[in-house]
Structures are given as structure tokens and as C-alpha cells.
Amino acid sequence: MVMVSAVLFTRMGLSEEIQRRLGISVKILSCSKCCTFWCCVVLLLVGKNGFVKSVTVSFIFAYLAQWLALTYDMAAMIYNRVYEKITENPGPPKGVEVSDATSGENGSETDTYDEVPQMQLKDDTLRDDKKVWGRER
């Protein structure tokens, strides 16, 4: 549990934000392996385990923290790829008719979902940027 907490502490940016707010720079807080190692050492020594046992177990957990951080990074990379593919050329959702709001002097231009601020739905309800499906953003 300490290992997961320490990895999330560094990966989610909490350690950087604490260092920025306090105006300090501590290398141990920037590295998930270091943070895991020292947190485990302190916790095991407070739990009245032996010094050698505490250091050994802490090294093992620091090594596992490196692999856990790698899996988090891989999951983030996969998420970013999928998100880019989804939002690459978004069209309007199914069932939404887009009115031609961008026609100008040169005639009608092709509307995209991002360019149209208000769209008319089939059931004659209006959707704008602040209300989506009846709920405020």
C-alpha cells in the first residue's frame, strides 16, 4: 500500500506541487523509487522490524515501484493515443442535425462539430456550450 501511494504521489504531481508551494527542491520526492524506498524504510523501522530486514524489503518494493510506474506510463500513453484517435476529426453525435451557421460571402462552407456553437436536435431542443443534455457543465 505504501508503494502504490508513493508512486501515485509522484506520478500525479502532488510532490512537485508541494515542492513548488514550499519553495524547496528535494530529489527524494521527485523519484517514485526513492520515495517508495524511504517511506518503506521509515514505516518498517517504526514497526520495530530489524534494520537489515527493513532495508531489504524496501529495496524490493522500490524495484516493484519502478515497474508500477512503468505500467502507469504505458497506460497513459495508450490513453493518449486512443483519445487522439477519437478526437481527430469529430463529427456531430448521431441524431444531431447541424445547421449551416458559417455561410458567408463565398457561399456555404462545410460545417464541423467544433465550429457550430448551437445545434438543433431532432426533438427540437437546443444544445449550447453551457448545457449538455439538460445538465450544466
Residue 42 pLDDT exceeds 60: yes
pLDDT of residue 100: 53
Q: How many Å apart are CA 132 and CA 137, to the nearest integer?
A: 7
Among candidate residues 39, 21, 42, 40, the one with its CA nearest the CA of residue 29: 39
| Alpha carbon distance 118, 16 (integer Å) | 40
More confident residue, 4 or 102: 4
C-alpha cell at 37: 524506498
Predicted structure pTM score? 0.54
Residue 31 makes CB contacts below 8 A (sequence gap 6+) with 10
Give per-residue pLDDT as tens, 80-112.
Answer: 989 888 887 655 566 666 555 554 455 444 444
From 58, 9, 51, 47, select the one nearest 31 (Cα to Cα).
9
Residue 2's pLDDT band (cuts 50, 70, 90): confident
